Structures are given as structure tokens and as C-alpha cells.
Structure 1
């Protein structure tokens, strides 16, 4: 077998075997670094996906609305006369998006848009006996809207059913009004709409405000109640890459002339928090990687000093500087590769322990933590390259040793 291996590989493996404890310690150090990076990557990705899912699963990525009416002067000044004009912002009347069907169809053809759903949203009152509550009435097309917000998954009592006589309400509103599935609830609007509907389901959107305020009815029902027959007040969109939502929103606004509000703009603090978390995660990975590289380099530098006589003998027997360099580069790469394999195994074990320990009070997992197979592959590649780069300085030092001086020690 050794006869088939190049000289550099034979020498590198022999050096690693002779310093077993030294090699074992540095491989374990590299393994711990890889395990930390892989486990932390999986943990942070899972946590971010869980937060992202909880926050954005109850809202659209982009909402298209008619532009707001601009303020106008109530009193003009005569030529040559300086006077302050009184500016008053006009009341924003609920009105439909012009040619909304055409805009909806245009959005469906965009490759960066995953789902489109027209909605009618307006203020209303939910009345139950002597009790009443201000609500946000949302009329939806169930077949399209469930691709924006997975309402069937949010139902905790009753069923996801919307006909002309049905309504879906949040559990907080149900508790405040003292109603349950099957009860009647009267909805009244400022435009004179008044309709008694049956509670088909009670949902939990994960937000007290949304559970208290949002109610869902059929699109045509909302149009009748708000007196917006045949129109829609907004068009909700889900995009393929949520982190590009603001750029896509600006593109759509330029294309349609509508106001396009992305979740990034309406949840700016949340978005900044996600970015800060991602940046800190990358910095931690970088410093862990640097510490692993420094450990490999330091051990190989010591190895060069310890084996200076062997290096001198190799040079005296005809070994070139390039061959000596490759011996130590191979050592660094082998240490990095073995460390990545051991570290990936350790990371898998850590994730198994996390799944057993990190649970909610009801026994369900806190959030799913999974690792894509590609992460293990990249860990092996990066660790091997790190070991290779860490070995460059020791390899250069070994290659510069003169045979006579090295043998004399």
C-alpha cells in the first residue's frame, strides 16, 4: 500500500502517527470547533426560521394599496402677499383599487411573487347583546388567502369555513364577547352595513392584538358591509424571498403606481433584529474558525522544530523544498478533514440532546432543529481548507531549513 502512496503522504502520515497525543489533541480541537459551528448554525437557523414563521405567518409579505390623498391648502394667498396657508390633510375615504383585476393578474405573472390575494379591509363593530368591540373586518377569497396566511392551521376551535353567513374570529375577541363556535355575532359598519353572522371558527394568530381585532368574512360579504361592491381595498402578496420584499415592493410600486408596503418596512425593528442576529452568528463562526486555524498552525510549528533533524535528513537524501512543504500541508489538511468528520458526529449528538432537553411546557419541541447534508459537506471542505492554510507558515519554515544546519540541530 505504501508503495502506491507518494512520498509526501507517507512522511506526513508517519509524522502524525509518531506524535499521536499531539495529533489527537489538535484533531479534537478542530473537531470541537467544527461541532460548535455546525450546531450553532443549525440552532440559529432553526430559531430564526421559528421566529420568522411565527411573525410572518399571520401577515402578507407585501400589501398593495391606493396612494393616500395629498394635503391641500384651504386658503390661497394673493400675488405679492405673504401669508401662511392653512394645510389640511383630507379624510382618507375607503375606496377600491382601480382595475384591481388587471393588477392581480400582472402580479401573478411576476417570477418573484409566490401568491396573490385581493382583500377588503375596513373598520367595523362586533356586537353581542349589550357588548360591542371595534374590529378590523377582513374580506378574503379563502382559496387564495390561505396561500398568504395559513388560516386553517390557526383554527383552534371550529372549522375553517367561510360562506356568506360565516365569520372567523380570534380567541381573544371570543373571550371578551363571551361567544363560542356556532353563536351569532352582529357586525355593523359606519357605512350602514349590518349583518348577523355565524361563528364558524376561532383562531389564534399568535398575537393578542390580532386575536382581538381581526375577523375574517367572505370577500363578497365584506364588500356589501363596507359598501365597496365589486372592489377591493388592498392586494396581499407573498414573495419567494421574504428578505427581498422591500426591493420587490419598490419595483411593484414603480410598475403599478400603488403604495407597496413590505413587511420589512412595517416590522423594521424585527428586521433589524434578524440582521443583527445573523451578523453576530457569522462573526462567532469566523472567530471559532480562526481559533481552530491558530491551533493547527501552532502545533505544526512545534512539529517543524521537533522534526528539524528528520527534515534535514530528507533534504540531504534529495528531497526538494516543494516536497517538504507538501508534507506539512498534507498534515494540516488531514487534521482539518479528520476534525470535521469527528466534529460533525459531535454536532449530530448535540442536536439529539437538544431535542430531548429543549421542550415547551406541553412537551412539544421548542422549535425544530435540522441540519442540511450540504452543511456537513461544507464543514468538511472549509475545515480541510482551514487546516491547509494554517499549515502554510509551518510548511514554508520547514522548506527553508538548510540540510546541514537542520541535522546539526
Structure 2
């Protein structure tokens, strides 16, 4: 006899084998439950990861900007307020004070991966009779493209730009009737005019960004907006994308800057993700609860059916602990075997869905992300659920009076 095959294991496995029909039914129920949990968890993780990556395709996780200008009431020499009603002033395109010091401080933070300066502002793009309002962002490609991976979304031309080049979105190119190599006049609000060559066209999957966002070299933007030596933003990527808002609030509390995170700028999107997570967790909890009740019900029936066998075991000298372990082992074995079968079913369902569920043009809805840890945690959770579900039947079996159990 193998060392691990103790009396409790022998009795538990024999009870499961003798009631094989009940065992098959409960294994099927557990497998379906675990399969549903794995399928939903993997789908939700894939949807959230891909949507988050899509949102962060065209914007940094945190952006530091100069604080808003605030108007103060006019006071007389006596200290009395001249006019109580104060109108909020229009916000100008201002440089960030002491940006070099702030940049060094950001790069030294342990929760920051990348920090890079940029210059942004609004302008008017003109080509022939066509004109469009655009947002111009000047950046240092080596660092900025590690935050916003624009080169991965180029559909024409190249992302390598010089001082007289510009990158535009595919929708802006269509509106302007332009393509790579064409000239585009960019007129800033103060009248500064630059004629730039379209070096590349990108498509980030967002029409608003494709129509408005444009990218130029760092020095070009400084010259266009008369900010030579200055920057308007510091763009940041943090280690935990979901903690971006907390980091932004901490930075804003320490420095005289306005820190905006992608979570704050996309609040409705982030709220939808949280609602999806909560609803998925609730559904998976209910499925797990139904699995636990199923295991408990089968073991309760097993205790009733085998009350005489339990009484004989107790009369022959088996302790309450040994009888207790028999049914706890049954619950754990059912949970473990059911989780293995369920993991196979869940993985198969994911593969089939990803292969056959397609968009009208034949492309996949989104890349499927399946982590091996999902199967490990599902198996562990199902095994613990089985042991927990077997606790009440096990206690009932251990507390049976041997004489009354034998009499029936």
C-alpha cells in the first residue's frame, strides 16, 4: 500500500466509486461551473486589457501641466473688494515652471517608468481651400514613442521625423485630401506659420484622435508656439496603470502642477470597466456557490445512504476524526477532478470562440489573453470549495451514533 493511501483515502475513493453515477453527475456540474468561471475571467481580462491598451495608444498615463490661472478680485487700497464677481480667465498656452527640476524628480520616482517633456497647443492646418483645427504635439521620439507607441499604428510613411516634418491621422489626411510627401501649412493662434511635410499617416483606432492629433519634432513645436526653452507638459508612464490616478493626486499635492491621469480623462470608460469587473465577480461567485451546494448535497445523500457503513466503521474502532476525513477527502477529490475537467472545457471554449467568433470583415474581435495562473487558481479554488462544502456532511457523519446508525 502506498504511504499516502491511508484508511481515509481508501474509504473515500471506494465510496465515490460505488456511487459512480452520483459522482459523474457532480463532476459534470463542477466541470461546467469551473469552465464558465475560466471562460468569463479570461474573456473579461482580454476585453479590459485590450480596451485599456487601445485607450492608452494615443495618450500618456499621466500628464503634468501648468496649474490653471485663477483671477482674484480687485481690492481698494483700504483692503475692500472692488468687484465681488470674478470671471474665470481664459487659459493661455503657458510653459511649465522649472520643468527640468520636475522632470528629474519624476524620473527618480520608483513608481514612474518613463517621463518625457512635450510641447502642445492648438493650431489651424491649411492645405489649399481645406482647413481643420488640430492639436499639435512636439516630442522627443526616443522617449515619447515608449509611452505612445505611434510607430505601431503607422499606415503610410514613417514615424521618423525631422524639424520640417509632421505626422497626421488617417481621418485628417482624408479630410485634407493629403498623403505622405504633401505640404501642410500649420498656423498657430498668435499667427506663427510653419509649412511642414507630411512624413507619415497613423491610425490609432479612434476617430477623434485621427482627426485632430498631429505630431512634430520637439524643437519645431517650441518654435511654432514661441516657447523656446520651455515645455507645456511632462508625459509619464507608471508601473501600475490602474494606480495612475493615485500617483497623479500624490504628484499634484507635492508640486505646483496640474496632474491629469488617463483614468480621470476617461472616467466613463474606467467606470464601465469597474462595473464589468464587479458584475463578472458576482456571476462567478454565484456559480461557485452553486457548485458548493451541489457538492454538499451529494455528500449529504452519501452520508444518509452509508449511515450503516459509517456505524460499522465507528463500532470497529474508527475515530470521529477518521470518519470526518473520509468526507472531507471526498469533497476535495470531487472539487479537484471537476476543476481539471472544467479547465479543459474552459480552455477549449476559449479556443473555439477565438477561432470562430469574428467581425464582419473576418478579423478577430480582440487578441485573447489567457494566463496559466487562471487555471491554477481555479483548480485550487474548486478544491478548497469542495473541502469546505464537505464540512457539514462530514461533521454529520462523524457525529452519528454507531448503534443507531447500524439499526438504521
TM-score range, shorter chain: over 0.9
The answer for the alignment partner of 2:227 in structure 1 is: 228
Specify the alignment match of 1:366 in structure 2: 365
- Aligned equivalents of 1:122, 1:389: Cα separation in 2: 61
Distance 1:167 1:2, change over 3 A: closer
Give runs of aligned pairs for residues 64-75 of structure 1, distance below 5 A. Answer: 64-74=64-74
* Structure 1 CA distance for aligned equivalents of residues 169 and 151 of structure 2: 13
Structure 2: which 5+ runs fail to align?
A: none
Q: Residues of 2 paired with 1:279 and 1:43: CA distance?
A: 14
Q: Does 1:111 align with 2:113?
A: no
TM-score (norm 2): 0.96
The answer to whether the Cα contact below 8 Å between 1:74 and 1:86 also exists between their aligned partners in 2 is no
With over 3 angstroms needed to count, the CA separation of the structure-2 counterparts of 1:208 and 1:318, relative to structure 1, is same
Deviation string for 1:332-358 (max 9, x for gaps)?
A: 000001001111111111111111112
How many residues are paired up?
A: 408
How far 1:86 moved relative to its partner?
A: 3.3
Deviation digits for residues 128-156 of structure 1, max 9, x if unmatched? 11221111111111111101110101111
Distance 1:4 1:259, change over 3 A: closer
Partner of 1:254: 253
Give the whole-Å Cα distance in 2 for the aligned partners of 1:368 and 1:130. Answer: 42
2:146 is the counterpart of 1:130: no
TM-score (norm 1): 0.96
For the residue of structure 1 that corresponds to 2:59, the secondary structure is coil
Structure 1 77/274 Cα, relative in aligned 2: closer, same or farther at 3 Å? farther
SS of structure 1 residue aligned to 2:382: helix
Distance 2:393 2:85 in 1: 78
Residues 237-285 of structure 1: CA deviation (Å, up to 9, x unaligned): 1111111111100111122221101111111111111111111111111
1:219 aligns with: 218
Tell me whether 1:377 sits opposite 2:337 in the alignment.
no
Taking the aligned partners of 1:78 and 1:269, their CA distance within structure 2 comes to 48
- Contact 1:73-1:88 within 8 A present in 2 as well: no
Q: Secondary structure of 2:137's partner?
A: strand
1:194-205 correspondence to structure 2 within 5 Å: 194-205=193-204
Q: CA RMSD in A?
A: 1.7
Could you tell me how far 1:364 is from its partner in structure 2? 2.8
8 Å Cα contact 2:133/2:212 also seen in 1: yes
Structure 2 counterpart of 1:29 = 29
Residue number in structure 1 paired with 2:167: 168
Q: Specify the SS of the correspondent of 1:146.
A: helix
CA contact (8 A) 1:332 1:390 kept: yes
Equivalent residue of 1:88, what SS?
coil
Matches within 5 A, 1:65-104: 65-74=65-74, 76=76, 85-104=84-103
Aligned match of 1:58: 58
Query: Secondary structure of the equivalent of 2:116?
Result: strand
Structure 1 unpaired stretches of 5+: none
**Bigger mean CA offset, 95-104 vs 285-294:** 95-104
Change (3 A) 1:163 1:3: closer
List 4+ stretches of structure 1 deviating above 6 A.
none
Tell me, in whole angstroms, the C-alpha distance in 2 between the residues paired with 1:366 and 1:194: 43
